[in-house]
Amino acid sequence: MSIHGVLGESTSYPKTYQPDTLYAIPRSMGRNEINWQDDKLQVGVDWWHAFEVSWLNPQGISQMAIARFGIPASSPNIVESKSLKLYLNSLNFTEFESWEAVQQTIAKDLAACVGADVEVSLFELDAISSGSEADTGFLIAHPKGKCIDKALDNSEIKVELVEHPDAKFLAEEGQSESVSNEAEKEYQLYSNLLRSNCPVTNQPDWGTLAIDITTSQYIDEAKLLSYILSFRQHNGFHEQCVEQIFADLSQRYSPSKLMVRAWYTRRGGIDINPCRVSDSSLLPKPSRLVRQ
């Protein structure tokens, strides 16, 4: 097995409970590439939503649920996505006494993989679709603030394809450092054009990116969009991309408050939604967008 586990390899799906299927990837692999203060990237959560969770009750009847896993950004590892899919499939024909037993088992196994406590919640499909559990965040939400996807429409800028994202896209032309305004301003901006590639399979990952930032620096929406588009050919895991953006915005704009979060589209029945904040009090509730 490679350092990326089973991702990108042909595999057989287990039919019995196999917690050792879970494969850990050190967060340091991505953070070393960012080359910024590691501790400032450890405030936040990666929310994983799994839509194909099933097991057997004591009667041998299949049970079905939607799951949310909250993995703290301070954990030393993330879990490889395909290994998680295989692990969840290993529960399909395993009997559990109760929903609570399933939840506790998954929490225990994920914690052992990522090296930190993981919040695991299971939701009944009927309860979500009826709207009685709207506060769980599974009903379709919308990003807050202003969409910047048309910020370049009236400019003559040609957006070139680049292999790696570069914070220089954020800088004003001929300007190496930010110029402060008189007072801080809060920006709520989002884009549906975030795209990167899986570093193992090279398959595209699409997502919506939201930025809530309070800064005395002027934010040029066109340049911010150019920066987001520079990720289009970047090979990086979801978590690493969000952390790269968080680090670059922090260094460019010196914000007093910052939240960067992404909602990535689903693959293999699982979507990944990393969120990083400058202070834990800024952490939002998990949610789900229309493309998910």
Instruction: Tell me the pLDDT tens digit for each residue of 132-148.
Output: 555 688 889 999 999 99
- Grade residue 2 by pLDDT with cuts at 50, 70 and 90: very low
Query: What mean pLDDT do residues 147-151 have?
Result: 98
Output the pLDDT for position 179: 54
Across 210-215, average pLDDT? 98
Measured over the CA atoms of residue 181, residue 185, residue 191 and residue 194, the dihedral's sign is: positive
- In the chain, which ranges are continuous DSSP H helix? 28-34, 81-89, 99-114, 125-129, 221-229, 238-253
Q: Beta strand 146-147 with 180-197: parallel, antiparallel or unpaired?
A: parallel
Query: Is 268 annotated as ligand-binding?
Result: yes
pLDDT tens sequence across 4-29 = 556 556 667 788 999 999 999 999 99
Considering the segment(s) 19-130 as one domain, its CATH architecture is 2-Layer Sandwich (3.30)
pTM: 0.91
Candidates 46, 113, 198, 212; catalytic one: 198
Long-range (24+ apart) CB contacts under 8 A made by 218-222 are: 218/178, 218/179, 218/181, 219/187, 219/189, 219/253, 220/170, 220/172, 221/146, 221/148, 221/151, 221/189, 222/151, 222/152, 222/155, 222/157
Cβ burial 257-284 (10 Å sphere, 16+ → b, else e): ebbbbbbbeebeebbbbbbbbbeeebbe
Q: CATH: 3.30.1130.10, 3.40.50.300, 3.40.930.10, 3.50.50.60. Which one for 146-282?
A: 3.30.1130.10
Residue 1 has pLDDT above 50, yes or no: no
Pair 157, 226: CB distance under 8 Å: yes
Give Rg (Cα) of the chain: 20
Instruction: Report how far residue 278's alpha carbon sits from residue 104's, in angstroms, rounded to the nearest whole number.
Output: 31
Confidence band of 174 (pLDDT split at 50, 70, 90)? very low
In the block, tokens 């097991």 appear at 55
* Residue 53 marked as a ligand binder: no
Judge whether 241 counts as a catalytic residue.
no
Any binding-site annotation on 239? yes
Residue located via tokens 């680090």: 247
Which residue, chain included where needed, has tokens 């704009």?
253
- Ligand-binding annotation for 81, yes or no, is yes
In the predicted structure, residue 154 carries a pLDDT above the cut 60:
yes
- Spot the catalytic one: 205, 212, 248, 271: 205
Question: Of 60-74, 155-169, 274-288, where does mean pLDDT reach its minimum?
Answer: 155-169
pLDDT > 70? residue 280: yes
Residue 67 reports pLDDT greater than 60: yes
Q: What percent of the chain has pLDDT over 70?
A: 90
Nearest CA to 122 among 69, 196, 176? 69
Report whether 21 contacts 90 (CB < 8 A). Answer: yes
Asked if residue 232 has pLDDT above 70, the reply is yes
CB 235 within 8 A of CB 196: yes
Is 205 a catalytic site residue?
yes
The pLDDT, as a whole number, for residue 136 is 80
Query: Percent of the chain, pLDDT > 90?
Result: 80
Q: In this model, does residue 73 exceed pLDDT 70?
A: yes
Give the pLDDT score at 14. Answer: 87
d(C-alpha 267, C-alpha 271), whole Å: 6
Q: Which residue has the tokens 């494969």?
A: 23
Location of each CATH 3.30.1130.10 domain in the chain: 19-130, 146-282
Give the pLDDT confidence score for residue 230 in this predicted structure: 97
pLDDT at 220: 96
Residue 98's nearest CA partner among 127, 63, 68, 51 is 63
**176 or 187: which leads in pLDDT:** 187
Residue 126, pLDDT score: 84
245 vs 274: CA distance, rounded Å: 12
C-beta separation of 206 from 232 below 8 A: no
Residue 236 has pLDDT above 50, yes or no: yes
Residue 207, pLDDT > 60, answer yes
Pairing status of strand 119-123 against strand 146-147: unpaired
DSSP 8-class letter at 72? E
Tokens 């990326």 belong to 4
Q: CB–CB of 45/283 below 8 Å?
A: yes
